[in-house]
Amino acid sequence: MPRSRTLAVDFDGVIHAYSRGWHDGTIYDPPLPGALDALHLLLADDAVFVFTTRAVDQVAEWLNERGVPAKADTTRARKFWNTRGTVLVTNRKLAAHAYLDDRAIRFRDWQQALAELAAVGRADEDAASSNAPDTPSAAVRLARIAEAHTRTDDGTCAECGHRWPCPTYGWATLGG
């Protein structure tokens, strides 16, 4: 059998359906379809922890009531979770081979990350006001940044004072 992995799983929006957001702080929704089966499947081979900002007892109890063995993290300064068969519910970002999260952006490099972040929280507004896709707005933002970080006559960046091309100009123009 391959060595077990440690997997981090977000709670709200990944296990708990979370259709109304934080709402009143209770766990008001049923599990997302397939969530409990998936946890059982993963627990058989991997160490699984739920990483949440909620009270860990609240989440552990909710999981146990639905047949998923879970325990609240009570170890101070815990760094690792290597135990199979029981979900650890923790507020700590422990080491993991992968983090499963409904709000995650996969980091590859800062240029890509900033471009993807530029669209976060704005997609709804864009969709409401027009049908503009997210990608051009990210590109436009990068272009504006590059424009601000121009070369001055003495060879430094007009915006940050570094020797031009400054690092910011570098990443803002890498893709284009």
Query: Which residues lie near Mg ion (CB under 5 A)?
Result: 10, 12-13, 102
Nearer to Mg ion, 73 or 168 (CB): 73
Residue 52 C-beta: closest distance to Mg ion, Å: 8
Nearer to Mg ion, 57 or 102 (CB): 102
Nearer to Mg ion, 10 or 46 (CB): 10
For the chain, first and last CA: distance in Å?
A: 46
Q: For residues 29 and 164, what is the distance between their CA atoms, to the nearest angstrom?
A: 53
Residue 15 C-beta: closest distance to Mg ion, Å: 9
Q: For residues 66 and 54, what is the distance between their CA atoms, to the nearest angstrom?
A: 18
SS3 64: helix
User: Comparing C-alpha atoms, which of 19, 24, 16, 102 is closest to residue 65?
Assistant: 16
> How many Cβ atoms from other residues are within 10 Å of residue 153's Cβ?
6
Q: Which residues is 125 bridged to in the sheet?
A: none
Q: Which residues contact 23 (CB under 8 A, 6 or more apart)?
A: none
Nearer to Mg ion, 116 or 159 (CB): 116
User: Which residue minimizes CB distance to Mg ion?
Assistant: 13
Nearest-10 crossing angle of helices 134-148, 110-118? 120
Nearer to Mg ion, 12 or 166 (CB): 12
Residue 32 C-beta: closest distance to Mg ion, Å: 11
Residue 103 C-beta: closest distance to Mg ion, Å: 5
Residue 163 C-beta: closest distance to Mg ion, Å: 42
